[in-house]
Chain A
Amino acid sequence: MTIGTSGSSTAVEGAAAPESSFEPIRLTPDEAAALARGAGLEELGVRPGLTGYVREVWGYRHLVWHLSSAQAWATNQNNYLGQLWAVLNPLLLVGSYYLIFGLLLKTRGGTSNYIAFLTIGIFVFGYSASAIIAGSRAVVGQVGLVRALRFPRAVLPISVTLTQFLVNVPAFAVLMVMIPLTGEPFSPHWLLFPVALVLQSLINLGLAFFLARLVNAARDSANLVPVGVRLARYVSGVFFSIPHYAGHGLLSALLLYQPLAVSMTTAREALMDQYPLTWGSWVAAALWGVVLCASGLVFFWRGEGRYGSN
């Protein structure tokens, strides 16, 4: 510090022109604001109003799509089998879970078609798990992009959620092939499966909004997210029927109607004969989706202007 400034002052004295003309200008905040207003300039690093923000994000919808589809495709590009892994991975997972929970631990109580029950659980929960983990790192994982290009940062959690949806599309296709093979009769209710996925995506997006801002503000919390997801995997009824093991009391209701479990319930009601459609789970899924998504967007928007600062 001292070396630099003393060097500069002697240098200026040695120059022909008077020192004062090269001094940085002194601007009071009010003068600067008045000058900027007069020139019609836009202030940087401030957050726009909520409706303006939503409109801005909508303006970047093409970016969301291209970012998501390109990254989804790149996910499995580093292997020789490439995109085949998008199908192989969930199948291998179903095989290992069936071995552990179906054959060794026998948690099939209360289910008439355990393979269908387990497969739906694994594939549907797998989408939420990957979306939550990737969503929590949506901002901190792409600091390069954040520091290089200016766009509303809500694009990142949205694009990460969409990426994970696209990555899981082959798994859902496998699911639709497997369900009739496990002996489920064809039903028009199957058409509700995409609706269940849309509601689930809204839930995932809402959680991604919350977690992306939290992890950006307190980076260490990123380490807790996988722990939370693992915990959720064991209490959300991925491989066992919650009412069969937890009864019908308050605890069971809490376990059944938390957002991740509700996503699996709606999917099973759409695809499995054993579970008739119930208003309760679909309304719960829709409410969770809308409430989480809206509150998550507001929460994320309130942090806009701080993303990329560390």
Chain B
Amino acid sequence: MGATDVAADRATPSVVCSGLDIVYTVFGAKQKGTDTGGELPLVERLLARRNPVSSVRKVHAVKDVSFVVNHGEAVGIIGRNGSGKSTLLRAIAGLMPPTNGRVWAAGRPSLLGVNAVLLTGLTGAKNVMIGGLALGLTPAQVRERYAAIVDFSGIGDFVDLPMSAYSSGMGARLRFAISTAAAPDILMIDEALATGDAEFQARSRDRIAEIRREASTVFLVSHSNAAIRDSCDRVLWMEQGRLVMDGPTDEVVRAYEQSHRKATA
């Protein structure tokens, strides 16, 4: 990409994220005091718990993250487990409200995650309709694309069974097919490429490339550095909720791998 291209891209951001903080509440979390409590006598054990009734904890998952992404960019987000990648993705998809800071986006962001639950009690066919409508399609548009969606997912006759009967790979494939049916302005993919067989992975890579050609923006969260190198030209590296590096794929992934080696050595 030449310098002029970069300058032209700079003029048309598709996502602006400024000072983003996300704090969310977890219910049913285990209190620290209870871990060591077994060794203490009863009274001390009760006193050791700062908050004996509640098991609620605040998680500060994303801390002061700022970046600007332009139209046509494919951005990878890397980092260790629990570094806030998925939460960041949810926030820029407009699914988790920011605690502090602001996020702007062009058009309709669509998040595709293997964890994104559709309605497991309903059949695949009903989920195609509901997912399509929630993505902003009309019922007629969903019916028109229905065959293509089911075809792409490759789940065949299973489409008439409840999704609770699907294997995890089948569910992920159907979700991918639904999420990409609406040709979103911004596509966000959370680990989706890690599931499915090799043939489906190849097909989904093609589909992502197709969406990118339509001048949209793609975000990809993955633990597979190969997948990131394949599909992304820019990488954000998250560490403990903070954005530590933001740059071209090769350099950032190399730095990330080196830090990894140092940490394990």
Q: Is A231 an interface residue (CB 8 A)?
A: no
Additional 8 contacts, C-beta under 8 A, given A24-B243, A24-B246, A148-B113? A3-B263, A26-B66, A29-B18, A39-B13, A41-B16, A45-B94, A66-B139, A147-B96
Q: Is A67 an interface residue (CB 8 A)?
A: yes
Q: Are A150 and B255 in contact (CB under 8 A)?
A: no
Q: Is A254 an interface residue (CB 8 A)?
A: no
Those 4 A-B pairs whose CB atoms lie nearest each other, nearest first: A144-B117, A32-B18, A22-B247, A148-B116
- Nearest CB in chain A: distance from B69 CB, A: 11
In Å, the complex CA distance between A62 and B129 comes to 10
For A29, give the chain B residue with the smallest CB separation.
B18
- Nearest CB in chain A: distance from B110 CB, A: 8
- Nearest CB in chain B: distance from A236 CB, A: 31
A4-B244, A36-B13 are contacts. A148–B259 as well, Cβ < 8 Å? no
Q: Are B12 and A4 in contact (CB under 8 A)?
A: no
What are the residues of chain B within 8 A of A44 when measuring CB–CB? 91-94, 98, 103-105, 109
What are the residues of chain A within 8 A of B133 when measuring CB–CB? 60, 62-63, 66
Q: Are A10 and B95 in contact (CB under 8 A)?
A: no
In Å, the complex CA distance between A202 and B263 comes to 60
Of the candidates B65, B68, B107, B118, the one having the most CB atoms from chain A within 10 angstroms of its own CB is B68
Q: Are B244 and A150 in contact (CB under 8 A)?
A: no
Q: Are B96 and A308 in contact (CB under 8 A)?
A: yes
Q: Are B256 and A11 in contact (CB under 8 A)?
A: yes
Stretch of A70-78, A183-191, A283-291 lying at the B interface:
A70-78
In Å, the complex CA distance between A7 and B17 comes to 26
Number of interface residues of A (CB under 8 A): 58
In Å, the complex CA distance between A11 and B108 comes to 37
User: Interface residue tally of chain B, by bracket?
Assistant: 35 or more
In Å, the complex CA distance between A258 and B105 comes to 46
- Nearest CB in chain A: distance from B161 CB, A: 11
For B112, give the chain A residue with the smallest CB separation.
A148
Q: Are B258 and A11 in contact (CB under 8 A)?
A: yes
> Can you give 28 A-B contacts (C-beta < 8 A)?
A4-B240, A7-B263, A8-B237, A11-B258, A11-B262, A15-B251, A21-B247, A22-B251, A22-B255, A24-B244, A24-B245, A24-B246, A25-B67, A27-B16, A27-B66, A29-B19, A29-B101, A33-B18, A36-B13, A45-B91, A45-B94, A60-B134, A66-B129, A66-B133, A70-B129, A145-B118, A148-B113, A309-B25
Interface residues of chain B: helix, strand, loop or mixed (majority): mixed
For A47, give the chain B residue with the smallest CB separation.
B97
Chain B contacts to A: CB under 8 angstroms = 11-19, 24-27, 65-68, 80, 90-99, 101-111, 113, 116-119, 121-122, 126, 129-131, 133-135, 138-139, 162, 236-237, 239-240, 243-247, 251-252, 254-256, 258-260, 262-263
What are the residues of chain B within 8 A of A22 when measuring CB–CB? 245-247, 251-252, 255
What are the residues of chain A within 8 A of B16 when measuring CB–CB? 27, 32, 35-36, 39, 41
In Å, the complex CA distance between A11 and B134 comes to 43
For B117, give the chain A residue with the smallest CB separation.
A144
Q: Are A1 and B240 in contact (CB under 8 A)?
A: yes
Q: Are B116 and A144 in contact (CB under 8 A)?
A: yes
Contact with B along A64-105 (1 / 0, CB 8 A): 001100110010010000000000000000000000000000
Q: Are A39 and B259 in contact (CB under 8 A)?
A: no
Contact with B along A30-49 (1 / 0, CB 8 A): 01110110011111110000
What are the residues of chain A within 8 A of B138 when measuring CB–CB? 62
Q: Is A17 an interface residue (CB 8 A)?
A: yes
In Å, the complex CA distance between A3 and B259 comes to 9
Q: Are A45 and B103 in contact (CB under 8 A)?
A: yes
For A40, give the chain B residue with the smallest CB separation.
B106
Q: Is A14 an interface residue (CB 8 A)?
A: yes
- Nearest CB in chain B: distance from A162 CB, A: 14
Q: Are B68 and A27 in contact (CB under 8 A)?
A: yes
What are the residues of chain A within 8 A of B12 when measuring CB–CB? 39
What are the residues of chain B within 8 A of A146 when measuring CB–CB? 95
- Contact with B255, one of A15, A39, A60 (Cβ below 8 angstroms): A15
For A30, give the chain B residue with the smallest CB separation.
B18
- Nearest CB in chain A: distance from B124 CB, A: 12
What are the residues of chain A within 8 A of B109 when measuring CB–CB? 44, 150
For B260, give the chain A residue with the smallest CB separation.
A7
What are the residues of chain A within 8 A of B104 when measuring CB–CB? 32, 36, 39, 41-44
In Å, the complex CA distance between A147 and B66 comes to 22
Q: Are A70 and B13 in contact (CB under 8 A)?
A: no
- Nearest CB in chain A: distance from B71 CB, A: 9
What are the residues of chain B within 8 A of A39 when measuring CB–CB? 11-14, 16, 104, 106
Q: Is A219 an interface residue (CB 8 A)?
A: yes
Q: Is A5 an interface residue (CB 8 A)?
A: yes
Q: Are B19 and A66 in contact (CB under 8 A)?
A: no
- Nearest CB in chain B: distance from A270 CB, A: 34
Of the candidates A1, A21, A62, A71, the one having the most CB atoms from chain B within 10 angstroms of its own CB is A62
What are the residues of chain B within 8 A of A33 when measuring CB–CB? 18, 102
Q: Are A29 and B259 in contact (CB under 8 A)?
A: no
What are the residues of chain B within 8 A of A144 when measuring CB–CB? 116-118
Q: Is A244 an interface residue (CB 8 A)?
A: no
What are the residues of chain B within 8 A of A3 when measuring CB–CB? 263
A36-B104, A41-B106 are contacts. A24–B13 as well, Cβ < 8 Å? no
Q: Is A251 an interface residue (CB 8 A)?
A: no
